[in-house]
Amino acid sequence: MAAKTAGKKQKFSIGIAVIYVLITLLALICLYPFLNVLACSLSGYNPVLSGKVTFYPIDFTIEAYKQILGRTTIWTAMRTTVLITLLGTALSLALTILAAYGLSIQDLPGRRVMTGFILFTMYFGGGMIPTFLVVKGVGLYNTLGALFIPQSISVFNFIVMRTFFRELPDSLQDAARIDGASYLQVLFKIILPLSLAVIATIGLFYAVGYWNSYFDALIYIQDGDKYTLQLRLRNMLFGSELGNAADDVGGTVVMPQTLKMATVVVSTLPILVVYPWLQKYFVKGVMLGSVKG
């Protein structure tokens, strides 16, 4: 018996070790592109030009960051992107919560029909040109509102949140209704305090989406002062705001490639800083919102 138990423990230990090795390799594969971008942004001219940079800087320098952060256009775009992310996430969460809660009420008249209309938009849309004409027709063209109002609700996020609300015990809501609470009081005093995990998850989905979006600004924004950070990054990556030749920064030659990599890091770092604070809610919210269909 002792030999069998030792053999099982050995097999179990080997299996766990293999799993850890595979997870470590997968993590390194996922991290390598970002580490390479970070290393290139901190490397000198010659190592980047010769392609010697892998995942650690060579000839360490921060001149690229000095030039990127010294541009007023970057700070203006950063401020615009933060504003769009905050306003868009707040509006999207509010609309998604209200829609999901309303359509999670079993005795709501026409609930199935309204849910069907919402789900229809998940598979069929008007297209880019009709959407552009609508945005221009309502006066949102070349305004910051065009970057978050037309896409303020995601049907997928709505389904996840409605599923979560439907899984909450009906007895809590029934007891509050018997005590005279209105639907809004039930929502704010009972439903929302129990739904922090899914709210944090959906909020993270929306925030990342608004932060990474550049196509809407490319279509709807003409004023350069209203460009988002991602659109500035896109223009830099395609060379419309960086020359093809190396730039001279304070006597130090900086490659356009290095400047592009530094811009990628600057635009990615804020959302990476926010994510760890919401990670535990993110994992819990995804699991709770996907238990039932």
- 228 compared with 70, residue with greater pLDDT: 228
Taking the CA atoms of residue 90, residue 96, residue 99 and residue 103 in that order, the dihedral angle to the nearest 10 degrees is -150
Give the pLDDT confidence score for residue 107 in this predicted structure.
81
Q: How confident is the model at residue 246 (pLDDT cuts 50, 70, 90)?
A: very low
Q: How confident is the model at residue 286 (pLDDT cuts 50, 70, 90)?
A: low
Q: How confident is the model at residue 96 (pLDDT cuts 50, 70, 90)?
A: very high
Give the pLDDT confidence score for residue 251 in this predicted structure.
47
- Give pTM, 2 decimals: 0.78
Q: What percent of the chain has pLDDT over 70?
A: 84
Q: What percent of the chain has pLDDT over 90?
A: 20
Residue 71, pLDDT > 90, answer no
Give the pLDDT confidence score for residue 245 in this predicted structure.
41
The per-residue pLDDT for range 138-188, each reduced to its tens digit, is 999 999 999 999 989 999 999 989 988 888 888 888 888 888 888 888 888
What is the residue-averaged pLDDT of the chain? 81
Residue 291, pLDDT > 50, answer no
Give the pLDDT confidence score for residue 4 in this predicted structure.
52
Residue 97, pLDDT > 70, answer yes
Give the pLDDT confidence score for residue 66 in this predicted structure.
83
Max mean pLDDT among 48-62, 135-149, 244-258 falls in 135-149
- 21 compared with 242, residue with greater pLDDT: 21
Give the pLDDT confidence score for residue 22 in this predicted structure.
93
Q: How confident is the model at residue 244 (pLDDT cuts 50, 70, 90)?
A: very low
Give the pLDDT confidence score for residue 282 in this predicted structure.
61
Give the pLDDT confidence score for residue 290 in this predicted structure.
47
Q: How confident is the model at residue 283 (pLDDT cuts 50, 70, 90)?
A: low
